[in-house]
């Protein structure tokens, strides 16, 4: 063995022919070079990882900024939905008190979870007089506790709010106010407003919206609570947020600030937010979010280690090779984990996103939201997600027709289904046609719509159909029978509980409500399948029994009567029994209307009561006493109402037309009767009975006495009310003491006599011309004004007009209703105006139901007009 040469302290001489290459690098040089190269690669990798971390942080901030934009919109959208729901309630019932307003709001629950929600209010619209602006005073507020100060507040005193209200009214859209200081919380807030129209269908144009406006709804939101509730979580953790109102004045534009701005915050990210006619800007700055230093430290240590190991390759090639391979595998795994995290971040979208092959129709991709909602769908046919066969068939032409946009369809999720708004678009992925589907769950929105529809057509206490829905079903049944003569007849059963008032009087309305619930449960067990039971009033019910003849209908009515009679109701130790009087009407006649059938059923029910109660009566055409009994019942009900002070007065304003001078408000008083249940009865229902049984003098005297005693509290003008018109019946005119009674009331309360106008119908004047003339002369001599109502309806209007001392004539509404389309009506009205003016009389037109008629009246010279198009009747102030 050749001995190893060692070199210590001196330079050895190389053997001949084997000298050192001066340009050759020694092993240590290669090691150093390898180390430097490794460190350079490590630095590049660290820089790349730093860039990736910054990109990931930037993507996170952008994603959070986009999310903040939507999260701030959510409470505004929810409040808007609550306003729209309450507007729908008003379209079904535009007259409600504070309790009903609060109950409807609680039942809707549209704003229960809205962060920052403070109050829902209703401001009543009243047109301005003599050029003054209109008023919008809050009449209803919920919750009432803590918000009492808002009652009576006039929104129109703030010009900007008035303009917003009018813009909302004309466009029927939600309008949002600028930030302002909430009176209830002494902090910044905004108000969302939506107009309220009178009962009926939704108005379709600006003119109809203005004509039917009755007020405005408003929801107040506390900005700080709303914003922090919407942005809570990762948004406020990673971003400093400022929200500014771009439409507000300088210095008043700040809506929300999440906190003090750190000095090391990042660059500004802005997002617009437009809602309710206002523009907000979200200015967001990333908070301290440096890349993961621990990860960077690990990367540098790993890089240095690799470099050292690579440098030691000269000394231990095999060992270094194994270590480098293991380290490379670890680095590859880390890179894969980073890519997976990036893909996961992209999948955090709330909408369902699916991608399907356009040829095979099978799903090839589903994001996280889709997998969580639908389960494992990869490989399934896309059409299998839809419960509707029509939607599945429409998939075949989706690529050709350009897809769908906002298609509402039932989606199958496991064993259940939910409603979604689906959009479908053809796309190309890797040169292959695909279908991209996005879906948003709208089940809660549809459930709210269905709940509102159910509440509008059903009784809240019993769950039965209400009168409106019942009459609609009856009308459809009558129409179907008219189209198919000879089809099976059906019957209407009209129930009226006999002793129900005793329960309410002795144990209260809570007991009465519970009794009604138990009676309905018992009746349901005795009903036939397919029949319709409804609650028509307080203790009145109706039942439609289909495919029955007369014996079957009577047997069914008797079975239900016995069922009610058998119920024993116990409340707080007291036992009650009730019975029912049932009227039965067979719908087997041709050409009958809803009004006929309901009137016959009501009459039959009254006859059942007259014959001893707790019995069934079948209506027959030879019931000569039916009408008389019905009128007797109304006469009794009217007497009780007068004893219990349940008569009410409404006023309708009489508006100047053309050049007529108003000089203040002119109103006509209209009589109403309120039942114990709270239902309001129109005068056409009970006044005929009052006239037949001699009650009209007492009714007229009640109206006169009440109006004179409360003159300053009839109308918002108070004592400045110009004229108050009161209708007088024929029986009152023929009363010798009427004039003395009127003049005594006026003198007792000190109201000027010229503030009252007594209206006498033309038919009454014709019947007793001399008597009427004498009464009129006395009243006019004292200063009262007298008007001839329904002028033109009689046969000799112009003949006796010159013999009556009058101040004003009111043209019968039958001529006014068709004035803009019937030339004959226009000619008659023109003649009445000319003759009235020649006699020195003012002329008023009734039944003005559209604003176009008002223009025609002005052209014909009519002085005043009244009707729903000009003013809808309102309750007098002292009875509200």
Beta pairing, strands 666-674 & 574-577: unpaired
Q: What CA–CA distance (Å, rounded) separates 780 from 785? A: 6
Please give, one letter per residue, the 3-state secondary structure of 367-436: CHHHHHHHCCCCCCEHHHHECCHHHHHHHHHHHHHCCEEEEEEEEEECCEEEEEEEEEEEEEECCEEEEE
Residue found under tokens 């660290």: 46
Q: What CA–CA distance (Å, rounded) separates 608 from 871? A: 42
Q: Is the pLDDT of residue 427 over 60?
A: yes
- 693 vs 519 pLDDT, higher one: 519
User: Is the domain defined by 54-306 classed in CATH 3.30.450.350?
Assistant: yes
Indicate the range of 358-362, 726-730, 785-789 predicted with least confidence: 358-362
Looking at residue 623, its pLDDT comes to: 55
Measuring CA to CA, which residue among 570, 577, 597, 640 is closest to residue 482? 597
Q: How far is CA 810 from the centre of its chain?
A: 40
Q: Is the pLDDT of residue 316 over 60?
A: no
- 401 vs 877 pLDDT, higher one: 877
- 424 and 437 Cβ atoms separated by less than 8 Å: yes
Residue found under tokens 């380290």: 327
- 458 and 469 Cβ atoms separated by less than 8 Å: yes
Residue 652 Cα distances to 29, 106, 229, 829, 874, angstroms:
108, 33, 47, 22, 7
CA angle 870/873/878 to nearest 5° reads 135
Instruction: Among 109-113, 325-329, 455-459, 563-567, name the most confident range.
Output: 563-567
Measuring CA to CA, which residue among 293, 263, 276, 239 is closest to residue 61? 239
> Helix (H, G, I), strand (E, B), or coil: what is residue 521?
helix
Q: Is the pLDDT of residue 484 over 50?
A: yes
**In the chain, what percentage of residues exceed pLDDT 70?**
84
Residue 223 Cα distances to 66, 185, 226, 245, 622, angstroms:
19, 11, 5, 12, 71
CA-based radius of gyration for the chain: 42
Instruction: Among 81-85, 605-609, 699-703, name the most confident range.
Output: 699-703
pLDDT tier at 546, thresholds 50, 70, 90: very high
Instruction: Among 145-154, 297-306, 431-440, 740-749, name the most confident range.
Output: 740-749
Tokens of 367: 């994001």
pLDDT tier at 18, thresholds 50, 70, 90: very low
User: Residue ranges of the alpha helices (H) in 127-216?
Assistant: 159-171, 206-211
Q: What CA–CA distance (Å, rounded) separates 382 from 399? A: 13
For range 854-876, the mean pLDDT: 92
- 440 and 424 Cβ atoms separated by less than 8 Å: no
Q: Is the pLDDT of residue 216 over 80?
A: yes
- 779 vs 767 pLDDT, higher one: 779
Tokens of 750: 């000190």
Average pLDDT, the chain: 82
For range 450-459, the mean pLDDT: 74
Backbone angles phi and psi of 233, in degrees to 5: 100, -140
| DSSP annotation of 500 | H
Looking at residue 195, its pLDDT comes to: 93
- 552 vs 24 pLDDT, higher one: 552
Looking at residue 16, its pLDDT comes to: 42
Please give, one letter per residue, the 3-state secondary structure of 565-615: HHCEEEECCEEEECCEEEEEEECCCCCCCHHHHHHHHHHHHHHHHHCCCCC
pLDDT tier at 293, thresholds 50, 70, 90: low
Q: How far is CA 530 from the centre of its chain?
A: 32
Q: What CA–CA distance (Å, rounded) separates 225 from 230? A: 8
For range 762-786, the mean pLDDT: 80
Looking at residue 1, its pLDDT comes to: 35
Residues 6+ apart with CB under 8 A from 346: none
Q: How big is the chain, counted in residues? A: 880
For range 93-101, the mean pLDDT: 85
Residue found under tokens 């729209």: 84
The enclosing H or E element of 42 equals helix 27-92
Instruction: Among 70-84, 112-126, 863-877, name the most confident range.
Output: 863-877
User: Is the domain defined by 642-879 classed in CATH 3.90.1720.10?
Assistant: no
| DSSP annotation of 621 | T
Tokens of 328: 């490379």
Indicate the range of 98-112, 333-347, 768-782 predicted with least confidence: 333-347
Beta pairing, strands 842-845 & 864-865: parallel
Hey, how many other C-beta atoms are within 10 angstroms of the C-beta on 32? Answer: 13
| DSSP annotation of 462 | T
Homologous superfamily of the 352-448 domain (CATH): PAS domain (3.30.450.20)
Residues 6+ apart with CB under 8 A from 272: 69, 279, 280, 281, 282
Q: How far is CA 548 from the centre of its chain?
A: 41
pLDDT tier at 403, thresholds 50, 70, 90: confident
The CA-to-CA distance between both ends of the chain, in Å, stands at 126
For range 289-300, the mean pLDDT: 61
Measuring CA to CA, which residue among 794, 796, 785 is closest to residue 815? 794
Q: What CA–CA distance (Å, rounded) separates 389 from 381? A: 14
Backbone angles phi and psi of 410, in degrees to 5: -80, 125
> Helix (H, G, I), strand (E, B), or coil: what is residue 446?
helix
Residues 6+ apart with CB under 8 A from 350: 369
Q: What CA–CA distance (Å, rounded) separates 605 from 174? A: 48
Q: Do domains 54-306 and 642-879 have the same CATH topology?
A: no
Q: Is the pLDDT of residue 558 over 80?
A: yes
User: Is the domain defined by 458-623 classed in CATH 3.20.20.370?
Assistant: no
Q: What CA–CA distance (Å, rounded) separates 228 from 540? A: 51
Tokens of 147: 């918000």
For range 331-342, the mean pLDDT: 56
Q: How far is CA 333 from the centre of its chain?
A: 56
Domain positions in the chain are: 54-306, 352-448, 458-623, 642-879
């Amino acid at each position: 063995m050749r001995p190893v040469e060692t070199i210590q302290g001196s330079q050895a001489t190389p053997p001949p022919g084997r000298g050192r290459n001066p340009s050759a690098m020694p092993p240590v040089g290669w090691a150093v070079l390898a180390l430097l190269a490794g460190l350079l690669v490590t630095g590049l990798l660290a820089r790349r990882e730093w860039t990736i971390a910054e990109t990931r942080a930037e993507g996170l901030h952008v994603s959070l900024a986009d999310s903040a934009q939507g999260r701030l919109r959510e409470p505004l959208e929810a409040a808007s939905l609550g306003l729209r729901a309450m507007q729908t309630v008003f379209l079904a019932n535009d007259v409600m008190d504070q309790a009903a307003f609060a109950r409807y709001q609680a039942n809707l629950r549209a704003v229960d979870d809205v962060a920052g929600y403070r109050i829902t209010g209703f401001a009543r619209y009243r047109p301005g007089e003599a050029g003054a602006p209109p008023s919008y005073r809050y009449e209803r507020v919920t919750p009432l506790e803590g918000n009492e100060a808002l009652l009576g507040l006039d929104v129109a005193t703030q010009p900007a709010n008035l303009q917003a209200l009018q813009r909302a009214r004309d466009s029927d859209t939600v309008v949002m106010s600028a930030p302002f200081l909430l009176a209830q919380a002494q902090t910044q807030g905004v108000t969302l407003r939506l107009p309220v129209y009178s009962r009926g269908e939704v108005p379709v144009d600006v003119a109809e919206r203005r004509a039917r406006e009755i007020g405005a709804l408003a929801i107040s939101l506390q900005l700080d609570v709303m914003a922090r509730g919407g942005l809570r979580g990762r948004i406020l953790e990673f971003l400093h947020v400022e929200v500014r109102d771009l439409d507000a004045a300088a210095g008043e534009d700040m809506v929300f600030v999440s906190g003090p701005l750190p000095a090391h915050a990042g660059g500004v990210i802005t997002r617009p937010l437009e809602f309710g006619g206002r523009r907000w800007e979200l200015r967001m700055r990333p908070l301290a979010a440096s890349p993961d230093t621990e990860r960077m430290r690990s990367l540098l240590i790993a890089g240095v280690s690799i470099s050292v190991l690579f440098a030691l390759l000269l000394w231990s090639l095999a060992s270094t090779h194994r270590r480098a391979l293991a380290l490379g595998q670890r680095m590859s795994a880390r890179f894969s984990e980073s890519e997976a995290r990036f893909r996961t971040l992209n999948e955090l979208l709330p909408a369902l996103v699916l991608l399907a092959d356009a040829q095979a129709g099978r799903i090839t991709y589903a994001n996280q939201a889709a997998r969580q909602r639908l389960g494992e769908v990869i490989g399934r046919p896309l059409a299998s997600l839809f419960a509707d066969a029509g939607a599945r068939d429409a998939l075949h032409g989706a690529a050709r027709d350009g897809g769908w946009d906002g298609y509402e369809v039932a989606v199958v999720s496991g064993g259940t289904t939910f409603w979604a708004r689906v959009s479908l678009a053809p796309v190309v992925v890797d040169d292959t046609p695909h279908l991209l589907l996005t879906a948003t769950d709208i089940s809660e929105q549809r459930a709210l719509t269905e709940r509102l529809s159910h509440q509008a057509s059903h009784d809240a206490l019993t769950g039965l159909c209400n009168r409106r829905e019942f009459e609609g079903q009856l009308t459809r049944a009558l129409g179907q029978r008219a189209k198919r003569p000879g089809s099976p007849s059906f019957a209407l059963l009209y129930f009226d509980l006999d002793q129900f008032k005793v329960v309410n009087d002795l144990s209260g309305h809570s007991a009465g409500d519970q009794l009604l619930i138990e009676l309905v449960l018992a009746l349901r067990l005795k009903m036939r399948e397919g029949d319709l039971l409804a609650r028509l009033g307080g203790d009145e019910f109706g039942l439609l029994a289909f495919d029955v003849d007369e014996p079957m209908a009577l047997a069914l009515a008797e079975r239900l009567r016995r069922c009610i009679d058998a119920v024993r109701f116990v409340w707080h130790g007291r036992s009650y029994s009730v019975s029912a009087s049932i009227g039965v009407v067979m719908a087997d006649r041709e050409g009958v209307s809803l009004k006929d059938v309901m009137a016959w059923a009501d009459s039959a029910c009254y006859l059942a009561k007259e014959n001893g109660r707790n019995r069934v009566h079948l209506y027959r055409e030879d019931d000569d006493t039916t009408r008389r009994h019905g009128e007797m019942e109304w006469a009794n009900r009217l007497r009780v109402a007068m004893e219990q002070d349940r008569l009410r007065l409404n006023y309708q304003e009489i508006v100047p037309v053309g050049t007529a001078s108003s000089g203040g408000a002119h109103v006509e008083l209209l009589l109403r009767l309120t039942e114990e249940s709270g239902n309001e009865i129109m005068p056409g229902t009970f006044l005929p009975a009052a006239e037949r049984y001699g009650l009209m003098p007492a009714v007229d005297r009640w109206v006169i006495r009440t109006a004179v005693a409360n003159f300053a509290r009839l109308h918002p003008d108070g004592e400045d009310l110009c004229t108050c018109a009161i209708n007088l019946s024929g029986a009152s005119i023929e009363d010798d003491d009427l004039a003395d009674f009127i003049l005594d009331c006026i003198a007792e309360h000190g109201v000027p006599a010229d503030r009252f106008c007594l209206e006498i119908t033309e038919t009454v004047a014709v019947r007793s011309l001399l008597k009427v003339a004498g009464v009129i002369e006395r009243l006019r001599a004292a200063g009262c004004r007298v008007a001839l109502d329904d002028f033109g309806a009689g046969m000799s209007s112009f003949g006796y007009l010159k013999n009556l001392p009058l101040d004003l004539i009111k043209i019968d509404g039958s001529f006014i209703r068709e004035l803009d389309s019937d030339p004959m009506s226009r000619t008659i009205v023109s003649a009445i105006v000319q003759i009235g003016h020649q006699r020195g009389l003012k002329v008023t037109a009734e039944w003005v139901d559209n604003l176009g008629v008002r223009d025609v009246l002005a052209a014909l010279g009519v002085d005043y007009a009244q009707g729903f198009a000009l003013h809808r009747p309102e309750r007098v102030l002292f009875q509200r």
